[in-house]
Amino acid sequence: MVSLSEVQVSNAKIATALPAGLVAVFVGATSGIGEYSLMEFARNAKQPRVYFVGRSQEAGDRIAKECRQLNKEGDFNFIKADVSLLKSVDDVCREIKHKEKAINVLFMTCGSALAHVG
Segment 27-47, tens digit of pLDDT: 988 888 899 999 999 999 999
In Å, how far from its chain's centre is CA 13?
A: 18
As a whole number of angstroms, the distance between CA 72 and CA 52 comes to 17
pLDDT single digits (tens) 47-68: 999 999 999 999 999 999 999 9
Query: pLDDT (tens digit, 9 = 90+) per residue, 100-114?
Result: 999 999 999 876 554
Identify whether 5 is part of a domain: no
Q: Please give the tally of structural domains in the chain.
A: 1
Per DSSP, what are the bridge partners of residue 75? 49
Domain of residue 38: give its range.
18-108
**24 confidence band (pLDDT: 50, 70, 90):** very high
Residue 60 belongs to some domain of the structure? yes
